[in-house]
Structure 1
Amino acid sequence: MISLTEAHRCISMLESLQPVRIPLDKALGLVCAEDVYAVHNCPTVDSSLKDGFAVVSSDIAEASPSHPVTLAVTGSLTAGDEKAGVHVSSGTAVRIMTGAAVPQGATAVLASEFAEVSGAAVTITADSRIGLNILCKGSDIVQHQRVLAQGEMLGPAHLGLLAAAGVKEVICYPVPRVAIAATGSELVWPGDPLTEGKVAASNMVTAAAELQAMGITASTVLVRDNLYTLHEHFQDIVRQVDMLITCGGVLDGDKDLTLRAMEQIGMVKIFHRVRIGPGKGACMGMVGKTIVFNLPGGPPSNHVALLLLALSGVRRLMGFLDCLPRKKQVFVSEELVGQTDWTQLVYSRVHSAGGSLHAVPLSNLTRFAAMAKANALIELPEGCAVIKKGSLAGAWFYPGYF
């Protein structure tokens, strides 16, 4: 049996999946496996920030409503037009749209609200300094500069940045292939009739939903309490996935056959039993290159082990260097009593008030109600017998909170 810290250290040492080249439209939520560099400048030319007129700024240095300046309009440019052959010289102006390339000779762009067109001439009523309303070539992105670093997760704005930098594909860690096997002859598929003694496979549903929130569609299967059946299913599954998560069968009862079946197919244990409550029975191992997390069957034990252990393993496969759940200090609203021999986890609801985080333990709720309402697990670490009301404590947050 190992501590939670030791279990996290084991998970953090897992190797990420082999990187692959991914098109931008498929890369959302993935992690860069290498630094990414700009293919070209952005913008590729000096371009206009306004609809207006490209001018020589010295021509209109004295322009004002009381002293307007009139210039000859010699052409026009819109975004995407070639600027070759379009030129601005003293005494002339070129009509220009936002995003269009600034023509040769122009030193500023005057916004259209300060200009009035009459035939082939424009009357200017405001001055313009050199460079006004011009976005210089490479001012957003310089060709060959590093735009993203290895280990960064790609969000929507990151993908926009890469597109602006001329990047079509990015080397990323791929989405892991994950299977969830819920074991137990008492289990039925959610929605099927619950005859006496049967239980819906809620652990499987929760785990699949957590993975779905990470962009992973896991395959799911129910397996009866039969050593041969478990052996056959597990042996088949591990050949097809990067990670197998099992629910149930990790204790020492006559029907707790999961670990026996895993041993039969050659699983090498990395750890078995973690000093946490709930979740103590969790096991992690490997069958070949496939990572296996064997989680307890009791809903709170399964859920805590999923949040603190298995999902961390998934994130590590996805290339996250910091793969552990987010942990922050919170003020607890009531006294909590722990077990000095292991780390106790308490479902809680955390909210922000007055610039700090405050946690309300949910010990008065039923198991499923507490799991559903909570957004964090207050930690009473090994050796901590009591956390006083109003004291600070560490809290592990559900994915997506704080």
Structure 2
Amino acid sequence: MMTSASDTRRTTTTHQIDLGQIYGLNEGVQQALRVLDNEPGKRGRLLSEVHEGEEWAPRLFSADGVRDPRFDALPTPMKMPPTLPVDRKATLFAFGGERANSTLFTAAINTLFLREHNRLCRVIEAANPGWDDQRIFQTAKNVNVVQLIKIVVEEYINHISPYWFKLLSDPSPSYTARWNRENRIPVEFNLLYRWHSLLPETATWNGTPMPIGDARFGNGPLLRDGLGIALDSASQSQAWRLGLFNTAAVLRPVELASLKQGRDNRLATYNDYRERMKYPRLTRFEQISGDAEVIAALKKLYDNDVERLEFFVGIFAEDLPERSAVPPLIGRMVALDAFSHALTNPLLSPHVFKEETFTPAGWASIAATSSLRDLADRNLPNGTAGLRISMDRPTHLSVA
């Protein structure tokens, strides 16, 4: 979700999982990214080009750094440095989202879903040769979005949860639930998902260390080494631990802006949100963490009064439970969103979520998708043999 630059109480994006980072958020952006051709073999496709035998989105800028006028409707890459070198600018892709080129790892995931869209168009068109460009595009897009929802639940949420059982993205138990309504993502959710302290200062790229700053706004290594190497490198890179005193220096100004956003929105206190989420209110800072440095800093900042502890600070001050990637209050709020948001997507309603909507080919693709590796298996020219494509930490890495 994107916060409005002019009013931090508002969002500039939708409240649904809809792959807006690929397709854009309005018809003008979407039209600019499409082939828009009813000729057989081109129907429904997103614009793409082939480089070194792999499919990529077209470039947003020319080799001399001039923006392609075909993409005037697209948003400007958010926080792209005005002094970005021309050779790096020339590697940025034409995607629908403002942050779609923020790092080459981000661009890699977006590339994977772009390829999957065009693959879906091929199989849907082959099975329905009488369908026109628009029907094939919309069907492929809907299939792609549902596949993302499945990956969110069955790989990502299972990855961060501490539970010993696995969750499935079966929406049918939600059909009669009292909370089964389209969710409106509030500012609290925006803030609790600012997991900046997970981002390491050094990532791995093709087996060698790479400063994370080098991954920003420059897809040259991705174009040079290929999507498989990018996905493997992301999987081999070690994330940091979520919590206070652990944010990379480059992101500390963002943390300060987040704290200001919470204050500007006059959010309730951390204890108020604990109570709202059915946790007991805390009476001492020692109840939030066993880390003496954290306790001392909180006492000093909030004049030894736990009732003054702010939401944004408190949720990241908590100790991590065993096997959990996130602290308890964040975990409970994310879990609530997972089921009152992801599984209430209109595409998963009982009137829509069926083979007739997605076509037999699309329905089969949805059934065969639970992870990013499933998409990679279908969209890497040489397959995934020898590549690690997983959200889990490699066993040889320790926790930072």
TM (norm. structure 2) is 0.20
Q: Which has a greater percent of helix? A: 2
TM-score, normalised with respect to structure 1: 0.20
Higher RCO (C-alpha 8 Å, min separation 6): 2
